[in-house]
Amino acid sequence: MSKPMFVVATSNAGKLREFQAILGDAFVLRGLAEFDPVVFPDEGEDYEANAIAKARTAADALRLPAIADDSGLEVDGLGGAPGPLSARYGGPGLDDRGRLLHLLEALSGMRGSARRARFVCVAAWASPGGSVRVERGECEGCILTAPRGDSGFGYDPVFEVEGLGRAMAELLEEEKNRISHRGRALAALRASLTQPVETRS
Ligand code: ITT
């Protein structure tokens, strides 16, 4: 039987790579670069609404099933910020490195539980016919005082994974995908999408 096909509705190359690694054995995944440009709505402060909006926008525009995620880093000492605004943290002029340095600066002087943090990912699937599935994954850890490692993307070099004593950017790609927020959300989405319709509650 041929594999089901989805468009991955993200412009983040790091995310696209992880979607491929996590779901590529079961699904054919096509990036947005293969299609005419899709215009996505501005994102708000709700992971689930943002993830559904990305998947729904791509599914409607391309008339193909689409998956997307909305993700972010929640830091206890910042009251859960930057959260769903993680991609824009520190203002529009910053790249991934600039954002993580901005985070270290914001946390300078904070110790212990103030540096506790979690990555959150809400993954959504939408079909052109109007169906939607949503799953969430989280990964606990704390914010380091200096970047470590060079794999992954985004805030990975400043996030130490709980119980591992290593930064997310010090893990092999397959190690990250086994325990990460995205790995967990996409594993749940895979289970939901491969479950026969009749037995779904
Ligand atoms: P798309 O909306 O096009 O998918 P984006 O990068 O804007 O791309 P988000 O709005 O979901 O995506 O922002 C998530 C941000 O959170 C992302 O830019 C990273 O800075 C951070 N982030 C999410 N997952 C991460 C991960 O696995 N490792 C490190 N940082 C991550």
Q: Which domains does the chain have, with CATH numbers?
A: 5-192 (3.90.950.10)
Per-residue pLDDT of 153-163, as tens digits, reads: 999 999 999 99
Closest protein CA for atom 31 of ligand 1:
154
- Number of helices and strands in the chain (H, E): 5, 7
Length of the chain equals 201
Residues 6+ apart with CB under 8 A from 55: 9, 66, 67, 68, 124, 125, 126, 132
Angle between helices 181-194 and 13-23 (to 10 degrees): 50
Ligand 1 pocket test, candidate residues 155, 174, 176, 178, most atoms within 8 A of CB:
155
- In the three-class reduction of DSSP (H, G, I as helix; E, B as strand; rest coil), residue 141 is classed as strand
What pLDDT does residue 1 have?
74
Verify whether residue 96 is a known catalytic residue: no
Give the model's confidence band at 119: pLDDT under 50 very low, under 70 low, under 90 confident, else very high.
very high
Per-residue pLDDT of 65-76, as tens digits, reads: 999 999 999 999
CA of residue 86 to ligand 1 center, whole Å: 7
